[in-house]
Amino acid sequence: MNDVFELGFGETKAEIALDRLPVQGAIPPWVQGTLVRNGPGTFRVGEQQYRHWFDGLAMLHRFTVANGQVSYANKFLRCRAYDAARANGRITYSEFATDPCRSLFQRIQSVFAPQITDSAKVSIAKIAEHYLALAETPIQVEFDPETLEAVGVFQYEPKATGQMTTVHPQFDFDGDQVFNLVTRFHRVSHYRFYRLQGELRPALVASLPVSQPAYLHSFGMTRNYFILAEFPLVVNPLHLLLWLRPYIENFRWRPERGAPFWVINRHTGELVGRYEADPFFAFHHVNAFERGDELVVDIAAYPDAGIVQSYYLNRLRDPNLEVPFGNLRRYRLPLKGRRATYEVISDECMELPNFDYRRFNMQDGYRYVYAVSINKQQRKGFYNQLLKVDVETGAVQTWHRPNCYPGEPIFVGRPGRVAADDGVILSVVLDAARGTSFLLVLDAHSFEELARAEIPHPILFGYHGAYFEA
Ligand code: CO
């Protein structure tokens, strides 16, 4: 039996390109496209170790499915942080929870200008015709989806002013618009919502002043509104300016603040309301929509921000670690009220949630959420099953196999589908017994395995990917 920690949080030995992976089972012939996944390619540089799951140097993985066959390639995202790490043999740029070793003198010198990573490893998006690797800094690296070569840092003009952004832009396909939220840290900080349209000139839609900005990984959007759930994991911007400790360690949990929801009209930029809610934390909004005079907001939520702590590698190394469970909550915001309430749709552990975004984003009547999860009978260790939740009934289906650790499930819908779950789920699974990974193809309806394509090496635990139809 292999060491799961070393397989999932070690380093990738090789960049390879294979025309044809061995496939067991049968991939439906209508699945024709490319899955690009992003995540860390190594947690080590020379003798040095990164500290947290959200650190590391970006690596892209491509799976192209055509006529039941799968080709594969992986490549580190070439960028300054990668080049410096390779050239110096040590960590040179600051990551989420790792700073390069610096003397006190260097630290003082670098105040106001820490070298923040450009290794954009968190997610993937196609905006206009550009394939982009996204980071929580506004640096987005364009890449070639076939060769995975970096094209360069993608520059918006004018630049969206701010230091941090979400890696989950929201798309309004009808309006051909893309929206994102950027936080600008300053004497008076601001949450800023931007719209991208046409020639990709960011236009400021709304700007909300804030004295202690929250750590925000995503936001909600409906036909008419932005929804910002302001979790009480907040930072004094001065502490970021001084940068005496790694980025995320400047944030503090302040549950006495609650977790207010801010609702903004996304057409006019007007603040519609602030809704009180008890403190909670989340990385991921799932879906949101308008129903009567209520906003419905589904979120993969935690009671507190302890999940951020549990992703430190020195904790993940412990095979007895119990990662805190997130669960799927449905918040309701009465447009004429003042307070958000919620119900738990499912108490199954849930992270990296996904749904049929293309068809159901912002739509009442969406039905299924897919996620990684931890089996209640196999509580210890990292995410070890895939989960499907029916948001109307709370019914769940799972895919769980011994020694298998699946990554983010991505729904690929059958063209012309009618049923809400007519499609397949693609997930990169680490098989710890074999010491390698495979691309799993599940029937989204039955949650039964249709096929798997075997990769000759292990793929580290990553975050987000995106599927592009051929
Ligand atoms: Co995310």
> Which token pair is 268?
């006019």
Q: How many A from CA of 107 to the centre of ligand 1?
A: 30
Could you tell me the pLDDT band of residue 108, with boundaries at 50, 70 and 90? low
| Cβ contacts of 104 within 8 Å, gap of 6 or more | none
Instruction: Give bridge partners of residue 122 from the DSSP assignment.
Output: none
Q: If you search the block for the tokens 């349209």, which residue do you land on?
A: 197
Per-residue model confidence as pLDDT tens digits over 216-238: 999 999 999 999 999 999 999 98
Task: Place 405 in a pLDDT band, splitting at 50, 70 and 90.
Answer: very high
**Other beta carbons less than 10 A from residue 296's beta carbon:** 20
* Tokens 């008890």 found at: 278
Residue 150 alpha carbon to ligand 1 centre in Å: 21
pLDDT, position 113: 56
Model pLDDT, residue 255: 98
Provide the sign of the torsion angle of the four alpha carbons 14, 19, 22, 27, taken in this order.
positive
What integer pLDDT is reported at residue 378 of this predicted model? 94
Measured in Å, residue 108 CA sits from the centre of ligand 1 at 33
Confidence of residue 37 (pLDDT cuts 50, 70, 90): very high
- Are 298 and 288 in contact by the 8 Å Cβ rule? The answer is yes
DSSP 247: G
pLDDT tens per residue across span 345-372: 999 999 999 999 999 999 999 999 999 9
Cβ density class 357-379: b for 16+ within 10 Å, e for less? beebbbbeebbbbbbbbbeeeee
The string of pLDDT tens digits covering residues 51-106 is 999 999 999 999 999 999 999 999 999 999 999 999 999 888 888 988 887 655 55
Domains in the chain with CATH codes: 3-469 (2.130.10.10)
Query: How wide is the angle at C-alpha 470 spanned by C-alphas 467 and 359, nearest 5°?
Result: 50
Residue 22 CA, ligand 1 centroid: distance in Å: 30
374, 323 Cβ separation under 8 angstroms: yes
Q: How far is the CA of 166 from the centre of ligand 1 (A)?
A: 8
Q: What is the pLDDT of residue 351?
A: 98
> Is 145:34 a contact under the CB 8 Å cutoff?
yes
Long-range contacts of 392-401 (CB under 8 A, 24+ apart): 392/367, 394/345, 394/346, 396/346, 396/348, 397/447, 398/348, 398/373, 398/447, 399/440, 399/442, 399/447, 399/449, 400/375
Task: With cut-offs at 50, 70 and 90, classify the pLDDT of residue 2.
Answer: low
Instruction: Tell me how far the alpha carbon of residue 67 lies from the centroid of ligand 1, in angstroms.
Output: 31
Report CA(167)–ligand 1 centroid distance (Å).
6
Q: How far is the CA of 305 from the centre of ligand 1 (A)?
A: 15
Both tokens assigned to 116 = 């923040």
The answer to whether 66 and 94 are in contact (CB under 8 A) is no
pLDDT of residue 110: 53
Residue 174: the pLDDT is 87
Pairing of strands 368-373, 351-354: antiparallel
pLDDT, mean of residues 276-299: 98
Lowest mean per-residue pLDDT among 27-31, 172-176, 357-361 = 172-176
Average of per-residue pLDDT across 193-202: 84
Task: Enter the pTM of the model.
Answer: 0.96
CA–centroid distance, 235 to ligand 1, in Å, is 20
Give me ligand 1 centre to Cα 390, in Å: 21
Mean pLDDT rounded to a whole number for the chain: 94
Residue 404 pLDDT > 60: yes
Given this model, what pLDDT does residue 462 score? 97
The amino acid at residue 466 is A
**Residues 258, 261, 265: CA angle, nearest 5 degrees:** 160
pLDDT of 284 over the 80 cut: yes
Q: What is the pLDDT of residue 232?
A: 98
pLDDT, position 163: 86
Question: Which one, of 296, 440, 444, 442, lies nearest residue 356 by Cα?
Answer: 444
Given this model, what pLDDT does residue 40 score? 97
* DSSP-derived secondary structure for 342-385: EEEEE-S--EEEE--HHHHTT-TT--EEEEEE--TTS-SBS--E
**Angle (nearest 5°) at CA 218 between 318 and 62:** 70
Element (H, E) at 110: helix 104-110
- Quote the pLDDT of residue 102: 62
Cβ neighbourhood burial of 254 (10 Å; 0-12, 13-18, 19+): middle
Name the pLDDT band for 107 (thresholds 50, 70, 90).
low
CA of 302 to the centre of ligand 1 (A): 15
Exposure of 435 by Cβ count < 10 A (0-12 exposed, 13-18 middle, 19+ buried)? middle
**Distance in Å, CA 355 to ligand 1 centroid:** 13
Percent of the chain with pLDDT over 90: 83
Q: What is the pLDDT of residue 241?
A: 81
User: What CA–CA distance (Å, rounded) separates 449 from 27?
Assistant: 10
What is the pLDDT, as a whole number, of residue 104?
A: 57
What is the pLDDT confidence band of residue 7, given thresholds at 50, 70 and 90? very high
Quote the tokens at residue 117: 């990573």
What local confidence, expressed as pLDDT, does residue 240 receive?
Answer: 85
**Dihedral sign, CA of 446, 448, 454, 455?**
positive
Lowest mean pLDDT among 7-16, 88-97, 178-187, 295-304: 88-97
Judged against a pLDDT cut of 80, whether residue 122 lies above it is answered with: yes
